[in-house]
């Protein structure tokens, strides 16, 4: 089948099943109800059986049957353990109203588009160049190693930057006394870069990091994605699945976006048997805090919670920039929606060795952690009411978001000490959120 023909069929079937199953979100409700969540799952199941998975390299469609997809759901692990020894962490799937708080992973380096892998690591290197410490020695070595090297997928530069990130993360882990901690999901997505980080001396062991086997468009794979799924099984490395479904592309509205997210998740589970999932709908600009995108994410998470059970992990990515109260309100709303939709963990905030040798995290990590603690166990009704009050605070800013200053403006990269104006902003933000009904411990 031609790829365009597949895309047209996907869009056509997606529209039909969403209507056939009567999926319609209520405008004032962000957290999806049980009936809609189950309808999303059934619609996604029917869609995947009819459409299949497209291999862009062979131009062939992989067809699946309903029974094998249901068996895949039953066999999907409901928990995963990463790290080793005293540094091991086990995360278990949770329900939307579970009193269990989502686990917050503190990782040595934030390396996605959230902070920028290249710029963030480069700034950390510059901050430590003159130190007579282990990080200082590594910074000087990496400065030379990466000089003039562009991080471009599919090139040697991609592999070199991935290795540099791995070395930095493991050095920080050792310095904070957690050498066997889980240091995150790799941002590199090519086979050579991933293998280089796990096969080299003094680099990742199988429990240190995971990688994504699912960074293709909707219901599509390539031979490379299948290679990564196979390699991860052979190496015993954690596999992250799930997709970034775009509202406004194949899916026209929040309901279709939720259905397509679950269809994509089921497709990836069928070939990769992932350890955890990243269900992350976005708008056309790549952001997640708009009302419709949050409804789609909640619908997908709740459909997975009730019918699949894979552990879902998320991040809180604001459209308003650093140092903005609006941005903090966005992150608070996102962690409430995620916690009250069954998310099991959140991630991608940096940590660093503090003066006493223990890990120090940034204030944003602390804020979303406090909010997650406050709302864990909250039922749908109160959660929707709370979300409505918070979304009202920032919704008007999304059309023209505030431009803040770089991350490095707010933190001393050698100590992760925040500027006083950022501390004051967080204090005021917590007071505002408390006034809206969040009961902080």
pLDDT of residue 116: 47
On whether residue 268 sits in a domain, the answer given is yes
Closest residue by Cα to residue 397 from 289, 297, 293? 289
DSSP SS3 for 244: coil
Q: Are 416 and 354 in contact (CB under 8 A)?
A: yes
Residue-level pLDDT at 9: 97
> Which 3 state secondary structure label does DSSP give 208?
coil
Query: Contact 120/151 with Cβ under 8 angstroms?
Result: no
353 assigned to some structural domain: yes
The answer as to whether 407 is a domain residue is: no
Residue pair 53/263 in contact (Cβ under 8 Å)? The answer is no
Buried b / exposed e over 12-25, threshold 16 CB at 10 Å, is ebbbebbeebebeb
149-200 tens-digit pLDDT: 988 878 899 899 989 999 999 999 999 999 999 988 887 778 888 899 998 8
Which DSSP category does 94 fall into? -
**210 — pLDDT class (breaks 50, 70, 90):** confident
The reply to whether 418 falls in a domain is no
Q: Which residues span the domain enclosing 348?
A: 3-320+343-363
The whole-angstrom separation of Cα 23 and Cα 154 is: 40
Q: Sign of the CA dihedral 127, 130, 136, 142? A: positive
What is the model's pLDDT at position 325? 94
What distance in Å separates the CA atoms of residue 283 and residue 293, rounded to the nearest whole number?
Answer: 7
Tell me the Ramachandran region of residue 313: left when phi exceeds 0, alpha when psi lies from -120 to 50, beta otherwise. Answer: beta
110 pLDDT tier (thresholds 50, 70, 90): low
422 in a structural domain: no
Q: CA-to-CA distance for 394 and 401, rounded, in angstroms?
A: 9
Closest CA to 109 of 52, 49, 65, 171: 171
What DSSP line would sit under 260-313, residue for residue? HHHHHHHHHHHHH--SEE----B-TTS---SHHHHHHHHHHHHHHHHHT--EEE
286 has a pLDDT exceeding 90:
no
Distances (CA, A) of 319 to 43, 285, 331, 339: 31, 9, 9, 20
**Per-residue model confidence as pLDDT tens digits over 45-76:** 999 999 999 999 999 999 999 999 999 999 98
pLDDT at 262: 96
* Orientation angle between helical segments 34-51 and 291-307, nearest 10 degrees: 80
Note the pLDDT of residue 348: 64
How far, in Å, CA of 213 to CA of 313, rounded?
15
- 220-228: average pLDDT: 92
- Cβ neighbors of 234 (< 8 A, separation 6 or more) are none
pLDDT value at position 406?
81
Q: What is the mean pLDDT of residues 207-213?
A: 88
Residue 336 domain flag: no
For the chain, give the mean pLDDT. 90
- 441 found inside a domain: no
Q: pLDDT over 90 for what percent of the chain?
A: 63
- The count of structural domains within the chain is 1
Q: How many C-beta atoms surround the C-beta of residue 143 within 10 A?
A: 15
Checking if the pLDDT of 111 tops 60, the result is no
Distance of CA 153 to the CA centre of its chain: 20
**pLDDT tens by residue, 375-429:** 999 999 999 999 999 999 999 999 999 988 888 889 888 888 899 999 999 999 9
Q: What is the mean pLDDT of residues 256-279?
A: 91
- pLDDT score for 407: 82
Counting other chains too, the contacts that 61-64 makes at CB distance below 8 Å and 24 or more residues apart are 61/1, 61/6, 62/221, 62/271, 64/267, 64/270
3-state class (DSSP) for residue 3: helix
pLDDT at 118: 58
- Element at 227 (helix H, strand E): helix 223-235
pLDDT tens per residue across span 292-320:
999 999 999 999 999 999 999 888 888 99
Q: How far is it, in rounded angstroms, from Cα 214 to Cα 203? A: 23
Lowest mean pLDDT across 13-17, 89-93, 296-300: 89-93
Q: Angle at CA 346, nearest 5°, toward 94 and 221? A: 90
Cβ-Cβ contacts under 8 Å for 301 (sequence gap 6 or more): 32, 96, 279, 312, 338, 341, 342, 343
**The 220-221 sheet, strands edge to edge:** 60-62, 53-55, 220-221
Lookup: tokens for 348 = 């991608």
Percent of the chain at pLDDT > 70 equals 97
**Tokens representing 428?**
């005021």
User: Which residue carries 């686990």 as its tokens?
Assistant: 103
pLDDT for 234 beyond 80: yes
Residue 349: give its domain's CATH number: 3.20.20.460
Half-sphere exposure of 354 (CA within 13 A, CB side): 10
Alpha helices in 156-213 (DSSP H): 156-175, 191-199
Task: Write out pLDDT tens, residues 132-150.
Answer: 989 999 999 999 999 999 8
User: Residue 361's pLDDT is what?
Assistant: 85
Q: Which helix (H) or strand (E) segment is 144 a member of?
A: helix 134-145
Question: What are the phi and psi torsion angles at 54 (to 5°)?
Answer: -100, 125
pLDDT, residue 115, reads 45
CA distance 213 to 277: 11
Cα separation, 72 vs 69, in Å, equals 5
């Amino acid at each position: 089948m031609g790829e365009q023909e597949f895309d047209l069929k996907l869009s056509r079937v997606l529209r039909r099943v969403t209507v056939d199953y009567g999926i319609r979100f209520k405008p004032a409700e962000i957290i999806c109800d049980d009936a809609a969540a189950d309808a999303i799952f059934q619609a996604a199941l029917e869609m995947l059986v009819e459409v299949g998975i497209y291999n862009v390299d062979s131009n062939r469609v992989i067809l699946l049957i309903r029974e094998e997809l249901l068996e895949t759901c039953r066999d999907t692990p409901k928990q995963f353990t990463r790290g080793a020894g005293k540094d091991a962490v086990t995360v278990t799937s949770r329900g939307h109203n579970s009193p269990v708080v989502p686990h917050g992973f503190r990782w040595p380096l934030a390396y996605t588009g959230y902070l920028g892998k290249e710029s963030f690591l480069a700034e950390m290197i510059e901050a430590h160049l003159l130190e007579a410490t282990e990080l200082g020695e590594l910074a000087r070595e990496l400065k030379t190693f990466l000089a003039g090297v562009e991080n471009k997928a599919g090139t040697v530069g991609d592999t070199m930057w991935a290795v540099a990130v791995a070395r930095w993360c493991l050095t920080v882990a050792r310095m904070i006394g957690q050498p066997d901690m889980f240091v995150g999901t790799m941002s590199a997505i090519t086979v050579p870069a991933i293998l280089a980080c796990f096969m080299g001396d003094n680099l990742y062991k199988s429990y240190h990091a995971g990688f994504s086997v699912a960074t293709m468009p909707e219901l599509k794979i390539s031979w490379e994605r299948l290679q990564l799924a196979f390699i991860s099984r052979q190496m015993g490395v954690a596999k992250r699945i799930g997709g970034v479904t775009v509202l406004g592309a194949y899916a026209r509205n929040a309901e279709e976006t939720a259905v397509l997210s679950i269809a994509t998740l089921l497709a990836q589970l069928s070939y990769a048997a992932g350890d955890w999932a990243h269900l992350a709908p976005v708008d056309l600009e790549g952001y997640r805090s708009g009302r419709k995108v949050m409804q789609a994410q909640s619908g997908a998470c709740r459909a997975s919670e009730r019918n699949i059970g894979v552990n879902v992990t998320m991040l809180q990515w604001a459209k308003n920039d650093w140092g903005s109260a609006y941005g903090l309100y966005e992150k608070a709303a996102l962690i409430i929606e995620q916690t009250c939709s069954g998310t099991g963990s959140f991630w991608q905030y940096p940590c660093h060795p503090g003066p006493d040798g223990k890990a120090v995290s940034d204030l944003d990590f602390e804020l979303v952690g406090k909010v997650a603690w406050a709302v864990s166990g909250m039922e749908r009704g109160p959660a929707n009411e709370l979300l409505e009050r918070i979304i009202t605070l920032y919704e008007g800013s999304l059309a023209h978001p505030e431009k803040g200053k770089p991350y490095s403006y707010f933190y001393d990269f050698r100590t992760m000490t925040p500027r006083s104006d950022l501390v004051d902003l967080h204090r005021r933000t917590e007071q505002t959120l408390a006034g809206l009904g969040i009961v902080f411990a």
